[in-house]
Amino acid sequence: MIRLMNMNAAFLAVTVAVAFANYHVKYAAQHEAQSLAKINKEIARTDDRIRVLDAEWSHLNEPERLQALAGRHLALGHITASQVVQLGDLPARFQAADAKAGSGVARPAPVVPAAALLTDDR
Amino acid sequence: MGGQGITPDSDGLDAFTAVTDEPIRLRGVQKARLESGRQRLALVIVAFALCFASLAGRLTQLALFGTNDTQRFAVRENLAGPRADIMDRNGQILATDLRVPSAYANPKEIWSVDETVEKLHSVLPDLDVATLKARLTADKQFVWIKRDLTPKEQDDIHNLGLPGISFENEERRFYLQSRSVAHVLGFVDTENHGLAGLERVMDQRLMDTKQGPLTLSIDLRVQHAMRDELAKSMANFSCKGAAGLVMDVETGELVAMVSLPDFDSNDPGSASPDARFNRTTLGVYEMGSTFKTFTVAMALDSGKVTLGSGYDASKPIHIGGYTISDYHAENRWLTVPEIFQHSSNIGSAKMALDVGVSAHRAFLSKLGLLSRPKIEVAEVGAPLVPHPWSEISTMTIAFGHGMAVSPVQLAKAAGAMANGGWLIEPTLIKRDGPAPRERVISDKTSKIMRELLREVVTEGTGKLANAEGYDIGGKTGTAEKSERHGYDKHALLSSFLAIFPAQAPRYLVIVILDEPHGTKATYGFATAGWTAAPTAARVIERAAPILQVNPRWDGTPTQIAAKG
């Protein structure tokens, strides 16, 4: 009889403990799910903002707009053929002139003209 | 202690006075009844236990292994779905979807219609009060109030605190380059379905956002250069319209495709039908002398004519009541190169007759000039071809009259003349691999054509297209536009077909000016050599550095030093 009561008490205790654990896990999972949903929403919102910025960047880079701005603020014109040079078209560096300029003075490395860097040798 | 069990055959009184702690034993029928009762109870217990066990098992399974439920979104038909971006070949975004809020109302939840209408009208003054009231009293649960709100409008409506008003985010298409690629892209309707242009033809592909953005062959910078120069020439020569395209002759990719006048894809409704008319793909025109390129190529490729051959161009041809004569007639015998350079109609007509009527027709058909082209926009026109095709047809078509084609057809056929003899289908989508192609003329014929085209620019009618350093080759074409009662001598279609660099062409440029008028600077001339040719040269000068085509020097270093 006592053994039966003990067993009952034991089962009751186990049931209560399991119930507590169950609800604890349940609420913890719910909490996690809520944070996950919040983060996902934040990601979606940030993605949208990135898309808006990408669109604005392309819009600001509209060639017509840049052309108008360049015309207003810069004194640049269209590139003419005479302004495009390839590396192979340049004359060889003349050693005689350098030798005269400064003997014994350390000479800087040859500078590649900027124009040549801009063209692709095809 | 020997207890006395209660038995049916014992004395009843005895049973009541006896107190035992022996278990009650049942015998016979009562025992059987109790047993069956017990059995039934056990059965019920087992059944319930099974149910609970299966529930517990399923719960455990769900908890441990999860589910494969695909989420289904409730889709309302009147909401716009997302659409893939459209980019140019360098990654510049041309069209994109952005989420914008729209306001809607649930009429069943509105407390006071009059108050709601009044407050909404105070915030959105351009809403019509009558229609708004009608909408809010409708027997529906969803009515739009205003779509595509600005953030400020959304805030204002929200701050009114009216019940029954909510917001829904919709995807709306924005065209970031407004006018430059209007004819190429087309536009969409409010539900983000393509209505015109590329948006319509590629509708299914664009609705599938999983495939990522759609990359076009168009280079936005070259597109803008073409549009800018066409617009300048259109204004300068007071033209009715203009069309231009730049095509890569090796891959068939259209790097630029412009038709003027154009419109803003963000607001297509406010554009006139003329502005929405795509002159590069839908409009068909008698191209005039640019067709001589095909006549000469055909004649040379057939073997019936060589560069040394010639024809008598001294007298106009009279046939069937028509007269074929030359503009700026040389009035002498002309060799084949001279016929091309001086653009002789008489010489071209005779040359085509030499090849033969059916051979001529077959050649043009091979080049795709007699059938509707395939291009990724919705507005494509079919060519106008004479029925029946007589000798007169051959003669007039030899110099580009009597048959009308679209500029994109001209580009496809001319590309084959320039690139070594390969016919490639033009496309607006970026091509990564080799393009499918078929041979239509020999490599030798193509080389000769390139030289002839270069000579037109160095010595012939295209001198104003000779931009320094770029070795431009081309052919002018000044066609008198045919009106219903014959040819209108004052309405011209001036076109220029250019390739550069002529020795090994990489790009082909077509410029067409619709009804240009001469200016003081052109001495009153509106022919192609004065109008379309210099326009093409300016486009090439702007586009070549972008397309990485370097100008060619004679090779003398002193030339560079002197310019430095």
Query: Sign of the CA dihedral B292, B297, B302, B306?
Result: positive
- Which pLDDT does position B74 carry in this prediction? 45
In a domain, B432, yes or no: yes
So what's the ipTM on this one? 0.72
Which one of A78, A80, A89 has the shortest CB-CB distance to B560? A89
Q: CATH number, domain at B494? A: 3.40.710.10
The backbone torsions φ and ψ at residue B8, rounded to the nearest 5 degrees and listed phi first, read -60, -30
Q: CATH number, domain at B117? A: 3.90.1310.10
Decide if A54 and B96 are in contact by the 8 Å CB cutoff: yes
Decide if A62 and B467 are in contact by the 8 Å CB cutoff: no
Q: What pLDDT digit, counting tens, does each position of A20-67 carry?
A: 999 999 999 999 999 999 999 999 889 888 888 888 899 899 999 999
In a domain, B230, yes or no: yes
- Which pLDDT does position B62 carry in this prediction? 84
In terms of domains, do B204 and B298 share one? Answer: no
In a mutagenesis test of the B interface, which of A64, A67, A120, A121 is the best target, namely the one with the most B β-carbons within 10 Å?
A64
Q: B12 is written with which tokens?
A: 């009843």
Number of domains into which chain A is organized: 1
Domain end among B156, B182, B215: B215
- Which pLDDT does position B2 carry in this prediction? 45
Mean of the pLDDT values across residues A65-90? 84
Residues of chain A with a CB closer than 8 angstroms to some CB in chain B: 48, 51-52, 54-55, 58-59, 61-64, 67, 78-82, 84-86, 89-91, 119-122
In a domain, B38, yes or no: no
CA–CA gap between residue B132 and residue B494 (Å, rounded): 53
Sequence-distant (≥ 6) Cβ neighbours of residue A23 within 8 angstroms: none
- Which pLDDT does position B9 carry in this prediction? 54
- Which pLDDT does position A122 carry in this prediction? 40
Q: Which residue of A has its CA nearest to B224?
A: A63
Decide if B469 and A54 are in contact by the 8 Å CB cutoff: no
CA–CA gap between residue B376 and residue B145 (Å, rounded): 37
In a domain, B536, yes or no: yes
In terms of domains, do B348 and B258 share one? Answer: yes
Confirm or reject contact between B550 and chain A (CB < 8 A): yes
In terms of domains, do B199 and B232 share one? Answer: no
Decide if A55 and B98 are in contact by the 8 Å CB cutoff: yes
In terms of domains, do B449 and B377 share one? Answer: yes
Mean of the pLDDT values across residues A76-101? 70
- Which pLDDT does position B508 carry in this prediction? 97
CA–CA gap between residue A29 and residue A17 (Å, rounded): 18
A85 contact residues in B (CB cutoff 8 A): 560
CA distance B480 to chain A (A): 33
- Which pLDDT does position B209 carry in this prediction? 84
In terms of domains, do B334 and B434 share one? Answer: yes
In a mutagenesis test of the A interface, which of B64, B97, B224 is the best target, namely the one with the most A β-carbons within 10 Å?
B224
Which one of B98, B177, B228 has the shortest CB-CB distance to A62? B177
In terms of domains, do B338 and B286 share one? Answer: yes
Domain end among B215, B232, B260: B215
Confirm or reject contact between B507 and chain A (CB < 8 A): no
CA–CA gap between residue B512 and residue B536 (Å, rounded): 9
Confirm or reject contact between B561 and chain A (CB < 8 A): yes
| Residues of B with active-site annotation | 289
Buried-exposed string B471-490: b where 16+ CB fall within 10 A, e elsewhere: bbbbbbbbbbbbeeeeeeee
Which one of A48, A54, A91 has the shortest CB-CB distance to B561? A91
Question: Contact at 8 Å (CB) between B508 and B537?
Answer: no
In terms of domains, do B245 and B327 share one? Answer: yes
Q: What is the DSSP string of B86-116?
A: EE-TTS-EEEEEEEEEEEEE-GGG-S-HHHH
CA distance B553 to chain A (A): 8
Domain end among B193, B215, B237: B215
* Boundaries of domain holding A94: 2-102+110-118
Mean pLDDT by 10 residues, chain B (564 residues): 50 56 69 84 93 92 73 46 89 90 87 86 85 84 84 85 86 88 92 92 91 94 96 96 96 96 91 94 94 95 92 89 85 92 93 94 96 95 94 93 95 96 96 91 95 93 90 93 64 94 93 94 92 96 91 53 38
The structure's pTM equals: 0.77
Confirm or reject contact between B557 and chain A (CB < 8 A): yes
Number of domains into which chain B is organized: 2
Q: Is B334 helix (H, G, I), strand (E, B) or coil?
A: strand
Decide if A81 and B467 are in contact by the 8 Å CB cutoff: yes
CA–CA gap between residue B255 and residue B543 (Å, rounded): 10
* Boundaries of domain holding B123: 86-215
Kindly state the percentage of chain A with pLDDT values over 70.
Answer: 74
In a domain, B49, yes or no: no
- Which pLDDT does position B47 carry in this prediction? 94
